[in-house]
Amino acid sequence: GLAAVAVPSSASAAPPATERQVTDIVPVPVEAKADPSASFRLTPGTVIRAGRGTGDVAAYLRELLKPATGYPLPVLPASAGLPAISLELGKADPRVGDEGYQLTVAKSGVRLRANTAAGLFEGVQSLRQLLPSEIESKTVRQRSWTIAGGTVLDYPRFGYRSAMLDVARHFFAPDQVKQYIDRIAQYKINTLHLHLSDDQGWRIEIKSWPRLATEGGKTAAYGDPGGYYTQAQYRDLVAYAASRHITVVPEIDMPGHTNAAQATYAELNCDGVAVPPRTDIEVGYSSLCIGSPTTYRFVEDVIRELAAITPGKYLHLGGDEAHSTSDADYRTFYEQVAPLAAKYGKLITGWHEIVKSEPPASAIPQYWDQGGPDADVTAAAERGNKFLMSPSNHAYLDMKYDASTPLGQDWAGLVEVRDAYDWDPADLVPGVGEQSVAGVEAPLWTETLRTADDLEYMAFPRLPGIAEIGWSPQASRSWDSYRARLAKQATRWEQQGIGFYRSPQVDWP
């Protein structure tokens, strides 16, 4: 009855909803063995022992643990013989690969091993979930700080685990993007796709076409204020992301979604007349002028400048919803443009429509449809392309949760927490199996989203689900396990100030 539910029983064997074990980590680890008798207690005397090459992760860990504990947590060389969290490179089980880690939490100390700094960083994200939620507080909390005991051996299913932020429909300032980077990093996302241009606004400084940003950046959806990143600000964002082991993939959408550019530079239109700026949320009406040499001079300038400030391997060349470009023109366009990325040392990604232009096998098309047979997609997989999977009916964070969600859209359906979690990227499109999947992405389109709070309400709690799909073995995942583990994340989000959607599908504490 109700009373039995409402009255907590002190005799109950079940731990309180907020108490954590290594088996509770999101994304669920490949192997985790809890040992409740082996918890490690952080004290004012605890040190961080940093092996060779682990200094940056050690400093990051210290910054993570210091605010709430108030402990000094000095970073010392590997030899110091004090109770410690030890970070070690190159001593891990070979199975952990490039991004995995091994974690041992015992009474006497914590040992985190990996083959790379990226692996250590992902291990730190697991480690932080083994502390009480108050560890996420930005101010000192007086309490005991134990790290749940046990061992973990962990590595990702896919190397490409991405989140997209649309800064074109609404602009988000660098500090807001940095906050989003911190949000996604804790779930082992390693790529941030920035959607930098669209019909409603252009968001990155291009020195050879300066008015793109200063004029084309002024607008945003629904007439809201725009904005843009200078190249210096963009570089700083890229560096911040890198400090969280996240690679930025910048997108310039083309040959459609280009109204902001074509409203700014008349010569980007076939008739040489600038189109009026638009801030409505229609899609599919704009197209660059495919037969004009000016178009390719423009695209090459943009690609050259963007490549120069982007250390990652990939540029995203858009390609979606080019409803105002004929199929022949679409093909012509990418046959000229894909080699430009190569000329400036970059590989390409693009929305999955680019498969129609038969891009090189190194290209990673991003699948955004809703699963089922697709001959062009299957043919590309047969040619060797690997896909980034972001099916709109599962992975789109801008879809409403249910009919009453105040924000978002619903053209791909309503996407509740279970819909976002309960799918397998290797089982969506015939012929696109495990070997043809590069990874997954959770896109966040922002037509209806204006503030950081809006972003967080749509991303949480769905984003951790997409992250788990990208990281954890399919065979280790289940909705029942996930919903229980997800519930235990809520108190962490409260500490972090994330106003998440309290889905009725999850028994929140």
Calpha distance 487→507 (Å, rounded): 6
Minimum distance between the CB of residue 174 and ligand TNX, rounded to whole angstroms?
A: 22
Minimum distance between the CB of residue 281 and ligand TNX, rounded to whole angstroms?
A: 7
Q: Which stretch binds ligand TNX (CB under 6 A): 51-59, 79-87, 391-399, 470-478?
A: 391-399
- Pick between residue 36 and residue 372 the one whose CB is nearest to ligand TNX: 372
Calpha distance 354→337 (Å, rounded): 11
**Burial bucket for residue 91 (CB in 10 Å: 0-12, 13-18, 19+):** exposed
3-state secondary structure 80-92: CCCCEEEEEECCC
Site for ligand TNX in 213-272 (CB under 6 A): none
Calpha distance 131→77 (Å, rounded): 24
- Pick between residue 287 and residue 392 the one whose CB is nearest to ligand TNX: 392
Minimum distance between the CB of residue 45 and ligand TNX, rounded to whole angstroms?
A: 52
DSSP helix/strand/coil, 409: strand
Site for ligand TNX in 432-461 (CB under 6 A): 445, 447
59 conformational bin, left if phi > 0, alpha if psi -120 to 50, beta if neither: alpha
Calpha distance 447→427 (Å, rounded): 30
Q: Which stretch binds ligand TNX (CB under 6 A): 126-134, 272-280, 392-400, 468-476?
A: 392-400
- Pick between residue 29 and residue 350 the one whose CB is nearest to ligand TNX: 350
Q: Does 320 bind ligand TNX (CB under 6 A)?
A: yes
Q: Does 398 bind ligand TNX (CB under 6 A)?
A: yes
Q: Does 180 bind ligand TNX (CB under 6 A)?
A: no
Q: Which stretch binds ligand TNX (CB under 6 A): 290-298, 376-384, 390-398, 487-495?
A: 390-398
230, 325, 321, 215: which is closest to 276 by C-alpha? 215
- Pick between residue 394 and residue 488 the one whose CB is nearest to ligand TNX: 394
Minimum distance between the CB of residue 269 and ligand TNX, rounded to whole angstroms?
A: 21
79, 328, 366, 173: which is closest to 251 by C-alpha? 366
Q: Which residues contact 470 (CB under 8 A, 6 or more apart)?
A: 27, 156, 157, 158, 160, 161, 162, 188, 189, 439, 440
Calpha distance 85→329 (Å, rounded): 58
Minimum distance between the CB of residue 485 and ligand TNX, rounded to whole angstroms?
A: 28
Q: Does 368 bind ligand TNX (CB under 6 A)?
A: yes
Q: Does 321 bind ligand TNX (CB under 6 A)?
A: yes
Residue with token string 């507080």: 137
- Pick between residue 69 and residue 392 the one whose CB is nearest to ligand TNX: 392
Question: Cα–Cα distances in Å, from 77 out to 38, 58, 122, 314, 398?
Answer: 25, 11, 21, 37, 46
- Pick between residue 408 and residue 465 the one whose CB is nearest to ligand TNX: 408
Phi, psi angle pair for 453, to nearest 5°: -65, -40
Q: Does 351 bind ligand TNX (CB under 6 A)?
A: yes
Binding mask 279-298 for ligand TNX (x = CB under 6 A): ----x---------------
CA-based R_g, the chain, Å: 24
145, 77, 136: which is closest to 105 by C-alpha? 145
How many residues of this chain bind ligand TNX (CB under 6 A)? 11
Question: Is 321 an active-site residue?
Answer: yes
Minimum distance between the CB of residue 286 and ligand TNX, rounded to whole angstroms?
A: 11
- Exactly one of 19, 321, 358, 494 is catalytic; name it: 321
Given the rule CB under 6 A, which residues bind ligand TNX?
A: 283, 320-321, 351, 368, 392, 396, 398, 409, 445, 447
Q: Which positions are catalytic? A: 321
